[in-house]
Amino acid sequence: MPNELQLKIEEFLLKNGKEGKVTDLIPLTGGASAETWKFTFISNKKTEQLILRKGSGKKSPLAVLKSEEAVVQQKVKSSGAPVPEIVAISSDDKDLGDAYLMNLIPGESIARKILRDSKFSEARQKLAFQCGEALAKIHSVNTNDFSRVPKKPIREELERLYSTYKSFNQPLPVFEYAFKWLNNQDFTARKDALVHGDFRLGNLMIDVSGLAAVIDWEMVSIGNPMLDIGWMCINSWRFGQSEKVVGGFGDLEEFLEGYGSISEEQIDREEIRIWQVLGTLRWGVICLIQVYAHLNGDINSLEKAAIGRRVSETEIDLVDLLFLGGK
């Protein structure tokens, strides 16, 4: 017996010229702000595996609306970057609310499997180059196409990050030093670009050939493209493989070679270190946000409570980057 969501999806697809039946509707994630569902769509032409991404419809300072996320992906796909094909976009409560449907991309997104499973051994050899190449294509997209994507100048973002940190009233000397250090840095002026905002393993679909798709675009913004590069290279996203600077799987030289195959931007190691410090500090503050959501009783979550230990991990990483020549 089809449930209400199945029927709504079928009706919405019919409005978009696709008649058929929805089966095997399975929730992948769920929460207060977003849901992800996988399902099979059977028409008289073919059988497709599709994904529904559905938001709450409420504006957030951290995430764009799902309908806006989908428009970004459509534009990015036209640049040649590996992005799932958008099937239909909903922004009306009469349809699916704030949501979109896209093709399911087969592959793996769990970092530890990608880094350790032997079936991805060949993929790991070329993944750093592919990630650099994909990121350069994303950064090359014309930002004039995105009137609803927020602009995030880096100095304003740093101020926002500091205000959030101070709101917890938990003095952390390493964080204090890192904020002061960053405020004294000369962030190289670069042309505004489309910034993914969370480019790392976990938000990349990997198959045996390498990078299959860049997913989870909810933190997209317009700003300095170095944010994505520094974020990809922080120790937190190496998942224990610290000797491999890029995501725990690749060397920085390979990553920059891939980036340089598309972009003419010149990037040096010291500039990346500045953005690694910012990325590490940013992740540390996000960890504080998560753990205090639990401690303050907003969300009762063992996962959010456990993530509190990662605050100290980011302090160690900051000390390594700032004082010990870490990479």
Average pLDDT over the chain, rounded to an integer: 93
pLDDT at res. 33: 58
Same domain for 99 and 233, yes or no, is no
Please report, for the domain that includes residue 29, its CATH number.
3.30.200
pLDDT at res. 247: 97
pLDDT at res. 2: 56
Same domain for 122 and 245, yes or no, is yes
pLDDT at res. 45: 82
- Does residue 289 surpass a pLDDT of 60? yes
Same domain for 242 and 145, yes or no, is yes
pLDDT at res. 206: 98
Same domain for 138 and 71, yes or no, is no
* Section 223-243 average pLDDT: 97
Query: What percentage of the chain carries pLDDT values higher than 90?
Result: 81
Distance CA 210, CA 126 (A): 7
pLDDT at res. 243: 96
∠ CA 22-4-74, nearest 5°, is 55
* Section 116-134 average pLDDT: 97
**Following DSSP, what letter does each residue of 255-291 receive, concatenated?**
HHHHHHTT------HHHHHHHHHHHHHHHHHHHHHHH
Same domain for 25 and 129, yes or no, is no
Q: Model confidence at 316, in pLDDT bands (50, 70, 90)?
A: very high
Same domain for 60 and 184, yes or no, is no
pLDDT at res. 308: 83
- Does residue 300 surpass a pLDDT of 90? no
CB 69 within 8 A of CB 221: no
- The DSSP symbol for 236 reads G
* Section 243-260 average pLDDT: 97
Pick from 17, 21, 13: nearest CA to 40: 21
Same domain for 99 and 122, yes or no, is no
Note down the domain range covering 76.
4-103
Domain endpoint, select from 50, 84, 103: 103
Same domain for 213 and 251, yes or no, is yes
- The DSSP symbol for 61 reads S
Q: Model confidence at 319, in pLDDT bands (50, 70, 90)?
A: very high
Same domain for 143 and 65, yes or no, is no
Pick from 320, 294, 318: nearest CA to 307: 294
Tokens of 39: 């399902």
Please report, for the domain that includes residue 152, its CATH number.
3.90.1200.10
Same domain for 115 and 251, yes or no, is yes
* Section 250-274 average pLDDT: 95
Same domain for 196 and 312, yes or no, is yes
∠ CA 145-272-269, nearest 5°, is 130
Q: Please tell me the total count of domains within the chain.
A: 2
- Does residue 1 surpass a pLDDT of 50? no
* Section 278-290 average pLDDT: 94
